[in-house]
Every structure is written in C-alpha cells, then in structure tokens.
Chain A
Amino acid sequence: MTSELGELYQEVILEHSKAPRNFHRPASANHEAEGYNPLCGDRCTVYIDMDGDAIREIGFQGAGCAISRASASMMTQMVKGKTKAEAVKLFEQFHNLVTGKDEAAKAQDLGKMAVFGGVSNFPARVKCATLAWHTLQSALEDKPDPVSTE
C-alpha cells in the first residue's frame, strides 16, 4: 500500500468500518435525519435522543464505504454526551481536517478522529467522510428533507 493509502485506511478506520459502533436505532431516539451521497449511492440515517440541549443517546444505520461507516461510527462515540453547540463545533473542526484546511485541527478536540486527516489527500472522498456529520447536523436541526452531500 502506498503511504497515502496507508494514511487513508488506517487500522482504526478499517476496524470501525468492519464493526461499527452504535449501529442501531436507539429505542429512546426522538430526532432523526437521513443523509444521501448521490455520487456513490451511500445512505446514512442518524438517530439521536436529545436531553434538552445534550445528545443523550445516538446511533446510525445505512450502507456505505469504509470511510463513511468508520466516520459515522467514530462520530457517534465522539458526540455522545456533547451539547448541540459542541457537536456543531466538532463538525467544523472535522470538516477543516478532511479538507486539509486546518492542520492544527488534529491537535484540538477531535481526539481519535484525527486519523481522518489522510482523507485530505483524496478530495473525491471528503463527501464520504462528512456524510454522517451532515446528517447529524440535519437531525440536530430537525430538517424534514433528507440531506444530500451534493
């Protein structure tokens, strides 16, 4: 594997894509949104249980590539217990990271999700990495229509 490919498909990403966490609809979910990447056909539904302003429980379902599944899986772990504002801020940092806008983002609040930095070498895959995040944002805002990455 070339070094860029190795950076993209890091062990932790492969592991999450094979065994995604929170890959279900939590019984207590009170918000949900659907995301769709028309380019590759990936679909993702994010379910959240909001306790006031806090994400008490979160899960996701859908079909997608390794990058989109791993990103969704790690995102659910990361935003659980966070407030809406914190989650939105994390998305911003994550977006900067995968689009290569902000190298420093790696050192900020993203923790384990910094492994997605390799995506910035693959512009065609940015939408895969951000699908779940766009969908989360839509669920937080209670948007009625499915969100599209196009």
Chain B
Amino acid sequence: MTAVTQPAIHEPLPRKDAPVLDLEKIRADFPILAERIHGKRLVYLDSAATSQKPRAVIDAIVHYYEHLNANIHRGVHTLSVRATEAHDAARQTVQRFLNAADTREIIFVRGATEAINLVAQTYGRTHVGAGDEILITAMEHHSNIVPWQMLCEEKGAHLRVAPIDDRGELLLDEFARLIGPRTRLVAVTQVSNALGTVTPLREMIELAHRQGVPVLVDGAQAVPHFAVDVQALDCDFYAFSGHKVYAPTGIGVLYAKRALLEAMPPYQGGGDMISSVTFEKTTWNDLPFKFEAGTPDIAGAIALGTALQYIGKLGIDNIAAHEQDLLAYATAKVGALPGVRLIGTASHRAGVLSFVMDGVHPHDLGTILDREGVAIRTGHHCAQPVMDRFGIPATARASFAVYNTRQDVDALVEGMRKAHEVFA
C-alpha cells in the first residue's frame, strides 16, 4: 500500500471529551446499543443514515397507543382531545426547536424527501415556467436533485448546479454568479451527507435574497448536529427528517414562511386540509392543516416532539461540542492510517467522515467491519454526483451521534487495520 498525500485538514487538534455530557448515561438511554453483533459490542457509526432511538422516544410511541390513541381534530370524546393536544404540543416543540415565528409554519410530512417534493409540487409548479432556472449545489442528496429535475422536465426549466472544490467546499463566487434573472428558487443542503461539509448558508441566503430569490434548505444532516434558527438564517423553506434526529422513521417537517404557505396551493387533497366541501366548491383549511391531508402519523409527530425534548435536555450545543471532538479525533486517527484518503476535507464539517482505502473497496471494508460489530455506510450515499466529482464509485462513511465515543472510533480504526491485513 502506498501512502496518499493528504490535503490540509483544518480541524482543531483532538481534545478531551467535553465533560458536560455523561456519555455512559446517554448510552444507557439507547436500548439498541446493548445489542451484540456477531458476538461483539455494537459500534454504530451510521447515524447519518438513521439515528438510534432513546428509550424516551420508544416509550412515547407505546404510551400514545396505550393511553391516547384516537383520531385528531375530530370527535368530542376524551381520547380525541388528548391525542389532538399531544399532537399540537409536538408542533410547538418543533417550532421552538427551529425557532420558527409561528406554529402554523410547521408542516408535518413523512420526511425531508416529502418536504422537498411538497415545495416542488406546490411552490415550484406555480412559480417556475419555461426557461426559468432552479439553482442547487454539486453536493446535494438525490432527494434535493430529483424533485427539481422532475419539475424542470415538466416546465421546460433548467437545473443549474453550483460547483465545489477538491475539499468539498462550495465555490461561493460561482454560486453567486449562477443566481440570475431567471432563477426562481435556490435549493441547498446545510450539511452534505456524503462529505460532511457545512455550507456557508447565511451568505448563500443573503446572495439569493439580494436577487429576490427564495431559498429552500435541506437540513436533514444539520439538525442532529447543531442549533438551527430559521429566523436568523432567514431561509424561506427548511426540510428535515425525524429519524435522523432520534425520532422514528416516517415523520419529518417542512418549515416555510407563513406568507409563502398562505399563497401556495395545497399539496394533496383530502380530509383535514379543507374547511368546507361541496361538489361545486371546496375551500382550504387554515395553516398548517392546508398541507396535511388525511390522518397523519400522530404517534410519529408526538415521538418527534419527545426526541427534540431529549436533545433539549442534553443541550444541542453540548451535543455539537461532543460530536466536533469525535469528528476531529476520527479525522486524525483514520486520516493517519496508511493508504487512506479522506473524501471531504472542508474547513467546517459536521457528523460525517467519508474515506476510501487503497486496495480495499468500501463494500469489502463494510463487511469486515460488520464482523467486528462496527456499522458504517458504504456506497454512493444517494449522492452519485458527489462520487463522480471525486472520480470514485463509492466511499466508506462513518457518521456520529451523541451516543458515540472515542472508543467507537478506536474500534473503527482497529477494524480498518484488520481489513488492511486481509487485502494487503
């Protein structure tokens, strides 16, 4: 194996774990971490795909079905009132979590993917026409590419892509240059799921707004890792998935500024989203219900509220500090292994360490690590254009959550050494 020259890594030197979080206690909050995988301790380093769930979230789902279950916004009976109140409370928790101005700006959806599709199908279809442009970046997840491609195809519009450099950083000048008179929407990620890059979102939003262009933010990989304030960002749309932030799968959030939501046509038609229906005319319900047709995932929304409260209890800034420490430690340890090349070395990263290993395909590495109890993601991470940009078919990706420790990183490094031995 030959050593590969590393690009400069602008990370703080590894330091001691932040003492604020009691990691042993936190790990005990996540029942699945007690699982044995092939007889080994589970080292879960795939939280960017989906996070594990704390006992409080699992209990919230059970509690809902055991004590509250009824349909919401209907019926005068006690259970329906309880369920409606719990669902409303969850929406308030999300509002506070994002620091949105109003609970009516919080739309429950299935996940970030549905949130982005909702905007493409409603705002997009009414504001984007032939010859118009939508601007994204070269490090988007497929979920922030394909809905726009479908819209462009339908409308005869064009998708523009702001490029990134070899470290995985957005070229801000190029991005600014690509915002033109035909740009109708900018849709960008806050954190790249494949590279870990944190984008300069404030500057990007300001550049877009200067030209009167609204901005959608894919925050799926951001909300688990640091505080997000949609008012401070001044973004127009913000999408995230519950399951990446310690909540169950199947629930997510679209935040949008109220004026935009008021003007947008509904997404899906059905119950709950109407205020009156006759065969001649139907009038839409008020926000947020206009965008929530049909009986929602009530238990999921409530459990999402519980997950965000769990984060609040630990303190998102404490989580951010702990994860930054882990990322710096992992970057140093993994980056020092012979023949390893880090993919994504931006100055500001969060949650994700992507890499390739000389002579060991990511898929083989994933299998060998799995036998050591270490779970990582291997493949293109639903970001094939990113892989093409770096001229590789796939990477191995270790991603971090609050329950990970330096011991987890050490297990990863040890597993990588074993893989190196097998393929040397």
Contacts and interface: CB of A to CB of B under 8 A. Distances in A.
Given A40-B393, A67-B364, 11 more contacts: A5-B422, A9-B364, A14-B423, A40-B379, A40-B394, A41-B379, A41-B387, A42-B363, A65-B364, A66-B361, A125-B363
A4 interface: yes
B361 A64 contact: yes
Interface string B146-189: 00000000000000000000000000000000000000000000
Contact of A4 (B362, B364, B371): B371
Contacts of A63: 393
Interface string A91-120: 000000000000000000000000000000
A5 B379 CA distance: 20
B367 A8 contact: yes
Interface of B: 38, 359, 361-364, 367-368, 371, 378-380, 384, 387, 393-394, 418, 422-423
A128 B363 contact: yes
A73 to B, nearest CB: 14
Nearest to A127: B363
A66 B393 contact: no
Query: 7 tightest CB-CB pairs across the interface, nearest first?
Result: A65-B361, A65-B363, A41-B393, A41-B394, A41-B380, A40-B379, A40-B363
Nearest to B418: A1
Nearest to A42: B393
Given A1-B422, A14-B423, A40 B367 contact: no
A139 B393 CA distance: 23
Given A1-B418, A65-B363, A40 B368 contact: no
A67 B361 CA distance: 10
A39 B422 contact: no
A39 B380 CA distance: 8
A39 B379 contact: yes
Interface residues of A, number: 22
Given A1-B422, A2-B38, A64-B361, A124 B367 contact: yes
Contacts, number: 52
A81 B413 CA distance: 46
A43 B379 CA distance: 12
11 contacts: A1-B418, A2-B38, A5-B367, A8-B367, A14-B423, A42-B394, A65-B363, A65-B364, A66-B361, A66-B423, A67-B363
A19 to B, nearest CB: 12
Contacts of B423: 14, 18, 66
Kindly name the residue among B362, B367, B418, B423 whose own CB sees the greatest number of chain A CB atoms within 10 A.
B367
B364 A66 contact: yes
Contacts of B394: 40-42
Nearest to A39: B379
B250 to A, nearest CB: 22
B362 to A, nearest CB: 7
A5 B378 contact: no
Contacts of A8: 367
Contacts of B362: 40, 65
A145 to B, nearest CB: 18
Contacts of B368: 5
Contacts of B422: 1, 5, 9, 14
B394 to A, nearest CB: 4
Contacts of A66: 361, 364, 423
B164 to A, nearest CB: 19
